[in-house]
Amino acid sequence: MLLRWYVQLRTTRARAVTRAREGGFSTAEGLAGAALAIGALVVIWAAMKALGIEVVDWIRGQIIKG
């Protein structure tokens, strides 16, 4: 009985350690998300600079419609 409990405890711990290594948020994923966000901001900024108030009105219209 005690041996069965010990084996189950070790198996559960090993599975938990394996899941902890596989899951999680890596630095590369965080940097990729930040790069995409910065890229989107740059595109929006460039469009607003080039087209001015027309872009602002279009964005406002899309937000209000949705």
Q: Which two tokens stand for residue 18?
A: 């394996």
pLDDT of 64: 92
- Residues 6 or more apart whose CB falls under 8 angstroms from that of 56 comprise 48
CA neighbor of 48 nearest in space, from 60, 36, 65: 60
Stretches where the chain sits below pLDDT 50 are none
pLDDT of 54: 82
